[in-house]
Amino acid sequence: MGDDDGGDVWEEDWNIGEMSDEDSDVEQEALPESVWSSIAKDNAGIKLMKTGGWEYDAAKFGGDPTYSDLYDGLHGPIQSVLSAVEDPLALLFYFMLLKL
């Protein structure tokens, strides 16, 4: 299709509402725990979340986890794989399972 036939031309703007990184001053409606499973099947509930958003409950789930203390050892490639990096076929066989 060419541009001159007018079949796939959209002439209007999309209305997606006001976008902002700022928190809204409007108090949002809290959903009770009993409706969480049923809200996923409810189109009106999904539209409410789409327009009103949702918030993370830090009191229930805790703060953002940090993973800085999971591993404090050496990192990087091991010597056995470094010997195979020049040859793509050797690298393939290095990572291939022993039993096929």
pLDDT at residue number 64:
63
With beta carbons less than 8 A apart as the criterion, state whether 60 and 33 touch.
Answer: no
Give the pTM: 0.28
pLDDT in tens, 47-93: 877 787 777 667 777 666 666 677 778 888 888 889 888 999 999 98
Spatial CA neighbour of 53 closest among 17, 12, 10, 15:
17
pLDDT at residue number 89:
93
Question: Mean pLDDT across the stretch 18-29?
Answer: 67
DSSP of 28-95: PPPPPGGGHHHHTT-HHHHHHHHHH-----HHHH-S----TTS--S--S--HHHHTTTT-HHHHHHHH
pLDDT at residue number 43:
82
